[in-house]
Chain A
Amino acid sequence: MSFQYWYLVKPKPNGNYFVGIENYKNIISSHYFKNSVGITLIYIAVTVAFRFIIGLFAALLLNTRFLGRGLARALLIIPWAVPEVVATLVWILMYDQKYGIINYLLTNFHFIGSNIGFLIDPKVALPAAMAVNIWKGFPFVAIMLLAGLQSIPQELYEASTVDGANSLQKTIKITLPMLKPVSVIVFLLLVIWTIKDFAIAYLLAKGGPSRATEILTIFIYQTGFKNFDFGEAAAGGMIMLLFSLLFTYFYLKMTKEGESV
């Protein structure tokens, strides 16, 4: 399909004929495609980094003993358990420019002077979408890393205590290196999932305000089902597939290595 003429708005008498790499040429030279690739890259980089850091912190904190640890662990899973669509609708309600709770809190504590239209201002819309994604994704990281933390043998810590290491040294020298295999896999999974992420950004603003949140999936969707150029959309999909195949390859390689050790 990506090599055929599939522009349904302008049907040709000879139907869906072969056009070679015309679709790819069109899509790569398209200004909007470049825009959406850039946005996707920012989106992936920022959300993966933040999800990872917050998840790591949460895991490290939850691995210590304190009152109500079980409760805290249960509460942390909530964002992950809420369906994407439901979560996004709640965030839309919270982001509301006039009545939203976030604007209310921010103005009340004097962080901002006037209300922000989170989903209306092109400058703020992308960070707003990222925030939802980070909120939704970090519990997964936390749970995975927590499992990784618990598999670290206790003897290592005991030995380092004998050697006189303080807790910061322990964290840097033992915990983080031991977490490396799990983190690499979680990291690759996050990247793969974020490439194909669609629902949150689409529901929040439909790629909108002036294409500020138009990540690659939304761009492909719009090309296919709004502009009815299925050939070009298929070409875009193939390009996206290449990206995710690349990371899937790394992922498979990493999991294989883990098995052989």
Chain B
Amino acid sequence: MRKIGKTARIILIAIICLFAVFPFFWMLSTSFKIPQEVYSFPPKFIPQEATLSGYAEVRSAKIYGKRYDCRFRKTMITTLQINNIDFN
């Protein structure tokens, strides 16, 4: 009886965790796919031709005239600054 209860509990936790993680996993998996594979049928959980080109592209992509990594750096600095002021 105890054993069954424990197994059921672990299965329930696994289901909840799967529900929580799946969209994140899907985002991660999609980020490594080549564009043709993003909209392929049937969808693939693991990209067949894994590529990092998505990451390279987004780094040099321009958002409102500025590069992504500039934006990223600025966001980080601003966040740190705001938090510094808050904590003091």
Contact = CB atoms under 8 A, between A and B. Distances in A.
Interface of A: 54, 57-58, 61-62, 64, 66, 72, 75-76, 78-79, 82, 86-87, 90-91, 93-94, 96, 98-101, 104, 135, 138-139
Given A87-B23, A93-B26, 17 more contacts: A61-B16, A64-B9, A66-B10, A72-B17, A75-B17, A76-B20, A78-B21, A78-B24, A82-B27, A86-B27, A90-B27, A90-B30, A93-B30, A96-B39, A98-B39, A101-B26, A104-B42
A135 B23 CA distance: 9
Most buried by B among A54, A79, A86: A79
Sorting the interface of chain B by its residue count into under 10, 10 to 19, 20 to 34 or 35 or more gives 20 to 34
B65 interface: no
Interface of B: 6, 9-10, 12-13, 16-17, 19-21, 23-24, 26-27, 30, 38-43
B23 A79 contact: yes
A61 B26 contact: no
Chain A binding site: helix, strand, loop or mixed by DSSP?
Answer: helix
Contact of A61 (B12, B19, B20, B43): B12
A99 B43 contact: yes
Contacts, number: 64
Contacts of B24: 78-79, 82, 90
A62 B16 CA distance: 11
Nearest to B17: A75
A57 B12 contact: yes
A75 B10 CA distance: 14
Contact of B43 (A54, A66, A100): A100
A200 to B, nearest CB: 12
Contacts of A72: 13, 17
B60 to A, nearest CB: 20
A99 B41 contact: yes
Contact of B6 (A66, A94, A96, A99): A66
